[in-house]
Structure formats: structure tokens, C-alpha cells
């Protein structure tokens, strides 16, 4: 909902959309964070002008969220949205200073990413029954591609046939910010994808997605989330069972088998190495396990 007292929000969101080329999901997050903050400014400080907003006013908003029990992780994201917004105002000359300079983000306890054990993934593909129809074939191949490439849910759903290079055994993925990356896949998987493409049912007009339903429509995120959760529930007891867990499993299994950290970063499409380093912690935990079991003095 637009906030007329602060027309500076829209140009910033347009900048993120057209220049930074952020995804729709990210844009919605920024918009929600900013509208929430500026509604607070309207209700608590009579919609004072942008240049009069101070760090203490920002802190009062953060304190209110903390009182409501909002997590540190969410608060940090909202701080990040505000930082970007005020930085843009400096860049465009709307402001000469930002109230965010002295704002300190709350500490977030780092949790190790959950992942499915390698033996459990093997069991899923070797022994778990999938229905003997187009739906079952699609579900099995989608889960296999998630685990074989580490791609995100949005990336897989939007994947087009033209992005699969059969001869080179690779897939071109369009990630966050429309950044492209190439992910190698096994010859066996490429052959399965090729056969899937050849056997496709008639598609709806304008649909060129790699994965489609038996009615020729693109897969929906909720559908994919549903069958991934259902299948993972049959092979693992970990709490989270989502497509993103398959991404974590892909990265963790690579690291545990000696893959180079920079290579994993490129495969995942991370913009910084820091985002990939969480997977080294799992590797260290695995080393500790080995040490405890194998060393006489452990």
C-alpha cells in the first residue's frame, strides 16, 4: 500500500527492479520492510520529512519489533532493506547523510544447514516407488535434478528446454539478479532429461518450460514443495524437508567428498564466499565424528 508522505519509496523499488534486476520475491520483501518502517514513521512521528529521520527513531522501530517477538534474522533483513534505501537516497542526492550509520544489527546464532544423508538419498532413488505415469516420472526427475545441481526452486521451475545442453552434459541456470551459471550434470541424467523432453505430452500454447504437468502446464512451486516433502519424509527424519534441503544436501555432500570451496560457490551461484562457508562447518562436524569414533584418545 503506497505511503503518500514518502514518495521516495517507488523510485528506489524501480531502481531495484530495472537496474539491479532483483527477483519479484526480493522486491516484495523490500517493499514490505520499507512500508512497515514508514507506516511506523507516520503513526509515531507524524510523517516527519526523510532528512529529519534519526538513528534513535530507527532504533525505536527495531525495539518495537523485538518486543513483538520478531526474530533477529528478520530484524537484520529489515535493517538491510533500510540501509539500501538510505544509501540510494545518498547516491541520488536526495539526502546528504543516512541515519543508518550507527545502527548495529542484532547477533544471529548460526545454525548448521540441515541436509539429507548420502545413504538416504541413495535409498530414495534406488528403492522409493514413484507412480508409473507422467506425474511420477516428473517428480523423480525433478528431485534428481535438485540433488544433482543444487539449484533453487525458482530456478528449476523456470528452467526451459533450451537451457539443457545435451551434447555438453550441462544446464544453464538463471539465478538471482538474472545471473547465469553453468552446472555440469552426469551423462546418465542428461539422457533421462532428453528422453523426458522427447516423451512430453502436448503443451499449452507458449509453454516452453522443461518440466510440465500431464496437462501441459508449468509446475507450480506449491506442487513441487509438496511432493519433495512427501518423498523426503519416507527416507529421512530431519525436521525440514523442502527443495532447499536438497540444495543444502548437494553442497554438503560435495564438501564432504573433498570439493573445492570456490567451485561449490560457483555451482550454487553465491555472490560471496561467505555464503558458501556455512557448508565447511558440516565438514568439520563430520571430521569430529570420525575422530571420536576412530581415535583411541578421543
Active site residues: 152, 176, 244, 247, 270, 279
Beta bridge partners of 170: 165, 184
- Whether 158 contacts 209, CB under 8 Å: yes
Q: In b/e form, how buried is each residue of 265-286, taking b as 16+ CB within 10 angstroms?
A: bebbbbeeeeebebbeebbeee
How many other β-carbons are positioned within 10 Å of the β-carbon of residue 230?
A: 11
53, three cell numbers = 529521520
Report the number of secondary-structure helices (H) and strands (E) in the chain: 13, 3
Count of residues in the chain: 298
- Whether 266 contacts 257, CB under 8 Å: no
- Phi, psi dihedrals of residue 220, rounded to the nearest 5°: -100, 145
**How much is the CA Rg of the chain, to the nearest whole Å?**
23
Amino acid at each position: 500500500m503506497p505511503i503518500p508522505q514518502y514518495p521516495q519509496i517507488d523510485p528506489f523499488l524501480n531502481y531495484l527492479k530495472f537496474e539491479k534486476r532483483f527477483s519479484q520475491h526480493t522486491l516484495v520483501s523490500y517493499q514490505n520492510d520499507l512500508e512497515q518502517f514508514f507506516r511506523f514513521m507516520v503513526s509515531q512521528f507524524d510523517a516527519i520529512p526523510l532528512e529529519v529521520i534519526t538513528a534513535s527513531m530507527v532504533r525505536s522501530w527495531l525495539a518495537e519489533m523485538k518486543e513483538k517477538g520478531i526474530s533477529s534474522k528478520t530484524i537484520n533483513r529489515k535493517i538491510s532493506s533500510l540501509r539500501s534505501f538510505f544509501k540510494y537516497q545518498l547516491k541520488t542526492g536526495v539526502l546528504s547523510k543516512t541515519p543508518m550509520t550507527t545502527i548495529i544489527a542484532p547477533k544471529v546464532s548460526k545454525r548448521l544447514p540441515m541436509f539429507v544423508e548420502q545413504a538416504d538419498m541413495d535409498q530414495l532413488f534406488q528403492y522409493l516407488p514413484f507412480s508409473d505415469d507422467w506425474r511420477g516420472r516428473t517428480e523423480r526427475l525433478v528431485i534428481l535434478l535438485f540433488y544433482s545441481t543444487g539449484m533453487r526452486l525458482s530456478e528449476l521451475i523456470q528452467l526451459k528446454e533450451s537451457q539443457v545442453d545435451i551434447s555438453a552434459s550441462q544446464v544453464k541456470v538463471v539465478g538471482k539478479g538474472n545471473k547465469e551459471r553453468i552446472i555440469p550434470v552426469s551423462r546418465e541424467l542428461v539422457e533421462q532429461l532428453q528422453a523426458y523432453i522427447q516423451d512430453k505430452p502436448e503443451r499449452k500454447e507458449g509453454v516452453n518450460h522443461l518440466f510440465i504437468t500431464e496437462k501441459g502446464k508449468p509446475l507450480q512451486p506449491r506442487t513441487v514443495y509438496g511432493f519433495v516433502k512427501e518423498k523426503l519424509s519416507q527416507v529421512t527424519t530431519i525436521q525440514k524437508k523442502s527443495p532447499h534441503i536438497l540444495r543444502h544436501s548437494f553442497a554438503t555432500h560435495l564438501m564432504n567428498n573433498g570439493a573445492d570451496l570456490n567451485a561449490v560457490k560457483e555451482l550454487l551461484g553465491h555472490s560471496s564466499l561467505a555464503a558458501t562457508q556455512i557448508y565447511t562447518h558440516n565438514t568439520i562436524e563430520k571430521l569430529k565424528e570420525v575422530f571420536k569414533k576412530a581415535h583411541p584418545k578421543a
